[in-house]
Structure 1
């Protein structure tokens, strides 16, 4: 039933009925005017009046149906007026002998499309009452028939009563049948609407699930056409989802992921599902990204192959973590060896250094002997510092974390760096931050050592004139690999210089112990720095080119506090 399918559908059905009734009434009245043509203008006047009234009412109905309002109320009013209009047409076309009494059937049929069964029965009773009242007033003489009919009498009255009864039974039967059928259609429509709503919700849920997946999902049909391509897949491949859907998997995967394409072809050909496999894909910028992929065959209800669904994840971060674990294992092994060597060398070295200093003070040395003894003491001190680095690397001290106002620590460090012996004239150090109240839980002494090491490395990389820029900024945790269960944001400290860059071949070994590109370096500075940062739950990233290098220290657990809350300021 149109009325219960929504106001917009009901308005369309109402407009359709308005146009149909105007067409039918116009044709019938036009025929009446044509048949009465030549019998005198007075006989045609009611037909013209009814035709004009129908046109005016139809226009009014149409305007009302186009505006906001209750479609049901308009339908009820329109049907009642139509009953009156049909009664007038019956009166002016012969009354008891008029064939247009059957127009009541159209009104009842139309009513069943807008009203429930009870409403349609009420409309049938109204039509019967209107018809009976019209014939009654004509037979009793209160209203003169438009045409001469049978003379009033007992026999005539019985015939009129019989006609009214037959019409009434017809109207009520039609109301019951059409109302019941309309009600069935209404129930079916409600059920269909519920099914469509559930189907739409299922589609929405499925689409939302696919869109929310962090893993890429690609599904193809039996012909190899892409059916699903979720946002994660689009991000991994660098292809818009709308551009991929509907294309063949060969066009999407042939150049960028040949192994994934081969896997899909094998499964479509009846091969076994792939539970887990690692391969590489080529990104838009030409770089290679490792992915882990699994493929499953989709079966139709008759167990034939309907397509393939492939799920894949970007393994870049996993590979980084694996490399960090391997590096940690190497560091642990080397650390144990270094600790043993440093311990065995430090004690006799201290004895040698002390003995030389005693000889310097007690023997009358002069000339070249003074220089050689000083050189021995200097190199002994340098070896002692190397041994200390070995021990710091191999057996790091436990971290003693306190609340530190990080911007103030970095500003104090800038003052030290400006007077550092390795800062050449023309090399400046600049500090930038918008986070003046940033507080972090860390070991002040250890992290300060990391920062000074990175800043001094930047100063040494600048050959003549340049700047070492240090930036402090807050970073949302989700960008730094944190978990939802941890509190606070991450913080980034960037050390960037415009000196000589680091060769690409050296970047992969930069944090390995004993690897150095500096003359006279021990190769332990960055290894110790990374170990300290890792012990704080952070990491160090490095970016470099032919000119300029950027080291970024990521530390977790940033918070905002006041000076009274700090143990270190």
Structure 2
């Protein structure tokens, strides 16, 4: 959960807590007037004090909200813990075992799931159940004597069986609510993350499409005179073979011309990648072949270990050469981000949305948020001799196959590139 969303939800919680305190205060006043209890009895004083304490704590939480950026999880757990203790006090004042307000524990569990999700909500449910059990056990043994402020539900002495039944009912209710609300909160978080990734993907596709149209025309305009220039220099080269200085200059011109030609070809690939040779490909076999070739590449040497984990029947429709180009580029980027020795892990999995996901994770230097936002932009590079077209071409190639590319990275923690392929039926067409 991002900082802005967390603060917004926390402000809503503080507002609801404040109104609950006012409701508790108003109901106490109404009960006192309705039953003509004008004397300040001990339970009434305790409820007034509890209402005031909740209002005071709400004000304190509001003042601390802007100062707990690094410890916001601990901050919300403190609030949840204090709220559950306040609920226990309300139950004590209103009759303990006979109280009708034990359902308020469920409210705490529900809002806890919004902030700490399913696992945290289960811990909160356990904490609430322990408090309630302790309260009833102390009441059973006569250690405490709840005020019974209101109508009592039982007139006979409290028994162990009644305590166990009540604790079992509350435990089942709390854990059921924690599981369901936590599950829904987790699903909401995943859906929002997926939606954000899709929005980012759509934005990149639109930007790259606009740049690609311009790039295609520009590349063609450069390519034609560049070819004429290269041909003319080749002719002139034959006439100055005996002049060492001119030959040296000619070699420089030809080398740079070839480099420009390669750059223009990459630019054309980025602008209009072709998917004409697409066919059904077994990802496991294709990735195994790519990994074997990559580990033998002289630029990698023996310093990078590549671990591959695939699944059976992972078939996608893609051009094998373009798949090799995409995976090779990502492997090479991962290897270049590792300073000395390291490892790259490739894993293939099938997600609930039926997409086949290939994750390429390295343990390199990682990237900061500013770099992450720009790595797919043409000509953006962090390498001294890079052109900045590698990842742009990868993205454009994958786009032609309705495949999404996501990346997660943190400085010093490596990067994870995720390729979301649309699966295909291998029996639909020949391999």
The answer to whether the aligner puts 1:494 opposite 2:362 as a matched pair is no
Q: CA deviation at 1:415?
A: 3.4
Alpha-carbon distance in 1 for matches of 2:194, 2:112: 16
Alpha-carbon distance in 1 for matches of 2:239, 2:379: 38
Q: Is the 8 A contact 1:503 1:546 kept in 2?
A: no
Of the two structures, which has the highest relative contact order with CA contacts closer than 8 Å and spacing of 6 or more?
2
Q: 1:376 to 1:348 in 2, by over 3 A?
A: same
Q: Over aligned residue pairs, what C-alpha RMSD do you find?
A: 3.7
Alpha-carbon distance in 2 for matches of 1:364, 1:469: 52
Tell me the residue number matched to 1:518: 383
Match of 1:341 among 218, 221, 242: 218
Provide TM-score, normalisation by structure 1.
Answer: 0.42
| Partner deviation per Cα, 1:479-517 (whole Å, 9 max, x = no partner) | xxx3xxxxxx32222223333332342112111222111
Tell me the residue number matched to 2:249: 372
Tell me the residue number matched to 1:508: 373
Alpha-carbon distance in 2 for matches of 1:458, 1:372: 37
Tell me the residue number matched to 1:451: 327
Match of 1:546 among 412, 420, 424: 412
Match of 1:382 among 241, 252, 259: 259
Provide TM-score, normalisation by structure 2.
Answer: 0.55
Taking the TM superposition and a 5 Å limit, the aligned residue runs for 1:2-21 are none
Alpha-carbon distance in 1 for matches of 2:197, 2:361: 22
Alpha-carbon distance in 2 for matches of 1:463, 1:551: 19
Question: Partner of 2:355: helix, strand, or coil?
Answer: strand
| Partner deviation per Cα, 1:234-283 (whole Å, 9 max, x = no partner) | 15553528949xx9xxxxxxxxxxxxxxxxxxxxxxxxxxxxxxxxxxxx
Q: CA deviation at 1:344?
A: 0.9
Alpha-carbon distance in 1 for matches of 2:198, 2:265: 29
Q: 1:360 to 1:404 in 2, by over 3 A?
A: same
Tell me the residue number matched to 2:350: 475
Alpha-carbon distance in 2 for matches of 1:434, 1:445: 20
Q: CA deviation at 1:451?
A: 0.6
Alpha-carbon distance in 1 for matches of 2:331, 2:271: 23
Q: CA deviation at 1:419?
A: 4.1
| Partner deviation per Cα, 1:138-193 (whole Å, 9 max, x = no partner) | xxxxxxxxxxxxxxxxxxxxxxxxxxxxxxxxxxxxxxxxxxxxxxxxxxxxxxxx
Considering fraction of residues, name the structure with more strand.
1
Q: 1:316 to 1:552 in 2, by over 3 A?
A: closer
Tell me the residue number matched to 1:402: 279
> Greater Rg, structure 1 or structure 2?
1
Taking the TM superposition and a 5 Å limit, the aligned residue runs for 1:57-96 are none
Q: Is the 8 A contact 1:338 1:390 kept in 2?
A: yes
Tell me the residue number matched to 1:240: 121
Considering fraction of residues, name the structure with more helix.
2
Taking the TM superposition and a 5 Å limit, the aligned residue runs for 1:154-553 are 223=20, 234-235=113-114, 237-238=116-117, 239-240=120-121, 243=124, 315-398=192-275, 400-423=277-300, 425-471=301-347, 473-477=348-352, 482=353, 489-544=354-409, 545-553=411-419
Q: Is the 8 A contact 2:295 2:302 kept in 1?
A: no
Q: CA deviation at 1:567?
A: 3.8
Question: Partner of 1:557: helix, strand, or coil?
Answer: coil
| Partner deviation per Cα, 1:416-475 (whole Å, 9 max, x = no partner) | 32343532x33334242242543222232222211111111122223333333333x222
Tell me the residue number matched to 1:154: none
Alpha-carbon distance in 1 for matches of 2:327, 2:190: 35
Unaligned 5+ runs, structure 1: 1-216, 248-290, 292-310, 483-488
Q: Is the 8 A contact 1:411 1:431 kept in 2?
A: no
Alpha-carbon distance in 2 for matches of 1:229, 1:538: 42
Q: 1:333 to 1:233 in 2, by over 3 A?
A: farther
Alpha-carbon distance in 1 for matches of 2:222, 2:376: 24
Q: Is the 8 A contact 1:336 1:394 kept in 2?
A: yes
Alpha-carbon distance in 1 for matches of 2:289, 2:368: 32
Tell me the residue number matched to 2:422: 556
Q: CA deviation at 1:314?
A: 6.6
Alpha-carbon distance in 2 for matches of 1:404, 1:230: 48
| Partner deviation per Cα, 1:188-241 (whole Å, 9 max, x = no partner) | xxxxxxxxxxxxxxxxxxxxxxxxxxxxx9996963687757869715553528
Q: CA deviation at 1:530?
A: 1.6
Alpha-carbon distance in 2 for matches of 1:365, 1:235: 80
Q: Is the 8 A contact 2:275 2:318 kept in 1?
A: no
Question: Partner of 1:550: helix, strand, or coil?
Answer: strand
Alpha-carbon distance in 2 for matches of 1:556, 1:411: 20
Question: Partner of 1:223: helix, strand, or coil?
Answer: helix
Q: 1:371 to 1:417 in 2, by over 3 A?
A: farther
Q: 1:372 to 1:417 in 2, by over 3 A?
A: farther
Q: CA deviation at 1:532?
A: 2.2
Q: Is the 8 A contact 2:270 2:393 kept in 1?
A: yes
Alpha-carbon distance in 2 for matches of 1:409, 1:380: 35
Aligned length in residues: 275
Alpha-carbon distance in 2 for matches of 1:353, 1:232: 70
